Amino acid sequence: MLETKTERVCGCAHDPATFAARVEQSCARDGVQLTPLRRRVLDIFSGSAGPLGAYAILEALSRREGKQVAPPTVYRTLDFLLEHGFVHKIESLNAYAPCEHLGHAHHGMLAVCDACGRSEEIEDEAVMRAIAATAAGSGFMPRTVMVEAKGLCRRCAEREAGATAHHRNPGVASSTSAPSGSRK
Amino acid sequence: MLETKTERVCGCAHDPATFAARVEQSCARDGVQLTPLRRRVLDIFSGSAGPLGAYAILEALSRREGKQVAPPTVYRTLDFLLEHGFVHKIESLNAYAPCEHLGHAHHGMLAVCDACGRSEEIEDEAVMRAIAATAAGSGFMPRTVMVEAKGLCRRCAEREAGATAHHRNPGVASSTSAPSGSRK
DNA sequence: CTCCGCACTGTTATAACATAACAGTCTGCC
DNA sequence: GGCAGACTGTTATGTTATAACAGTGCGGAG
């Protein structure tokens, strides 16, 4: 149980560091215009350990550009990235995370760790099928479906279990290394 | 397949008009303090056809009280109602809706109609089981799970189908009438 | 009865998230 | 050149949410 690379059926890489590069390839292939600005935002995602709020991106961007960037610039870029499925919005966090399954449609759930703030995209057709079936049963016709779970990722769950093996403790890490982007 | 009253296993009433009264009973039974302010907010939910934004509640409350109410008042009340499971937050709308399954834990999905703006709470253990299983498979330990679907409710889907019986059918409402509670 | 703590509400200010509207720039094309 | 379109810049503002502290009312301990 030591692998950090989450290997899955689809064979996706899930490597944040190469995220921007992979999107770039995808754009080149599809004739989608990946401008310098958009590329820089992708780089910011690549360098982040967790989901980023729009204003976190804004700050990072301003730092990188050396001059103040305004909100619309960021939101427009996010719109582009969302539209092409390169990032997802995490509604419960008002934050954005790079898509871990570039190329496939997004049929998964988003799992957000309360301790480390990272998010993880878990693909599973069974969940989506169950949702579709349930919706159909009540006459509802879904157009988009969002599944977000909060809890502890494998790593943090193990750390908790180890750290408090005998005692017990308040489920949620306090100031445990919250990566850059996480708020709340 | 003709019933409009969504009758479900649990036998819940789902009647907005009696919502406040039912919460009141629940509070009385459990020794939970339902103050006049909280009761008024419940009444506002009872009188609404769809989910309400915090600031919509704020306006309704201000109107009802005859004087301006400040945001913290509303948010504190919502905190109380959320905490006790009397209302749910719809993250994808930043809005709040009365719980349709008072008394049970919330093990369902929220279906929001793009056309009429109403939300509907669909209970289904199968979905939650599938999610739990999927999460477990990847080592994630969920604490809270949120499922939100957007699309067309039975009623609006039927209306659409009727309106455009012979021609196009993409299943997705365009700019169809949006009512009271819905924003954006 | 007084004092104290607690739960609730009021009030002011501000933070955090998001968009509208319009202006400027750059590029490719006729 | 001149135009159209896509992209970005800029200013202003709208919307959602919280921090911090003050007041009020009530019940219990002393």
Q: Which segments in chain B show pLDDT lower than 50?
A: 1-8, 168-184
Specify which of A11-25, A80-94, A119-133, B152-166 reaches the highest per-range mean pLDDT. A80-94
* Residue B115, pLDDT score: 94
Please tell me whether any atom of strand D lies within 7 Å of the Cβ of B94. Answer: yes
- C5 C1' – B25 CA distance, angstroms? 29
Place A17 in a pLDDT band, splitting at 50, 70 and 90. Answer: confident
Query: Does A71 contact strand D, using a CB cutoff of 7 Å?
Result: yes
CA of A65 to C1' of C18 (A): 22
Mark yes or no for CB contact A154/B139 under 8 Å: yes
Greatest Cα pair distance, chain B, in angstroms, is 57
Does residue A156 have a pLDDT over 90?
Answer: yes
Between B7 and A88, whose confidence is greater? A88
Q: Can you give the pLDDT at residue B95?
A: 98
Pairing of strands B87-90, B95-98: antiparallel
Give the model's pLDDT for residue A76: 98
Does the structural domain B16-163 have CATH classification 1.10.3190.10? Answer: no
Report pLDDT for B100.
92
What band does A7 get if pLDDT is binned at 50, 70 and 90? very low
pLDDT at B37: 97
| CB of A62 within 7 Å of some strand D atom | no
Residue A35 has pLDDT above 80, yes or no: yes
Provide the mean pLDDT of chain B. 85
Q: What is the 3-state secondary structure (H, E, C) of chain A?
A: CCCCCCCCCCCCCCCHHHHHHHHHHHHHHHCCCCCHHHHHHHHHHHCCCCCECHHHHHHHHHHHHCCCCCHHHHHHHHHHHHHCCCEEEECCCCEEEECCCCCCCCCEEEEEECCCCCEEEEECHHHHHHHHHHHHHCCCEEEEEEEEEEEECHHHHHHHHHHCCCCCCCCCCCCCCCCCCCCC
Domain ranges for chain A: 10-106, 107-178
Å between CA of A43 and C1' of D27: 60
- Which residues on adjacent β-strands are paired with residue A96? A52, A89
Average pLDDT over residues A124-152: 94
What pLDDT, on a 0 to 100 scale, did the predictor assign at position B86?
96
Q: Is the CB of A71 under 7 A from strand C?
A: yes
What band does A111 get if pLDDT is binned at 50, 70 and 90?
A: very high
Residues of A within 8 A of B90 (CB-CB) are none
Name the nucleotide with the smallest C1'–CA separation from B71: D17
Fold match, A10-106 / A107-178: no
A17 CA from C11 C1′ (Å): 48
Q: What integer pLDDT is reported at residue A162 of this predicted model?
A: 78
Give me the CATH topology for the region A107-178.
Dna Ligase; domain 1 (3.30.1490)
Nearest to B130 among A114, A130, A148 (CB): A130
Closest CA to B122 of B151, B160, B143, B163: B151
Task: Categorize the per-residue pLDDT at A94 as very low, low, confident or very high, splitting at 50, 70 and 90.
Answer: very high
Residue A46 has pLDDT above 90, yes or no: yes
CB-strand contact B31/C, under 7 Å: no
Q: pLDDT, tens digit, for every residue of B117-141?
A: 999 999 888 999 999 999 999 999 9
At residue A11, the pLDDT reads 59
Three-state DSSP class for residue B152: strand
Q: Supply the pLDDT for residue A151.
A: 96
CA–C1' gap, B174 and D8, in angstroms: 29
Contacting B with CB below 8 Å, chain A residues are 6, 91-92, 109, 111, 113-114, 120, 122, 124, 126-127, 129-131, 133-135, 137-154, 157, 171
**pLDDT at residue number B165:** 63
Nucleotides on strand D with an atom closer than 7 A to protein CB? 6-13, 15-20
Nearest neighbour of A134 by CB, restricted to B126, B134, B138: B126
Q: What is the CATH number of domain A10-106?
A: 1.10.10.10
Query: Measured from the CB, is B35 under 7 Å from any atom of strand C?
Result: yes
Smallest Cα distance from A131 to chain B, Å? 6
Q: Which chain B residues touch A145 with a CB distance below 8 Å?
A: 147-150
pLDDT attached to residue A169: 45
Q: For A134, which of B6, B109, B133 is closest by C-beta distance? A: B109
Decide if pLDDT at A166 tops 80. Answer: no
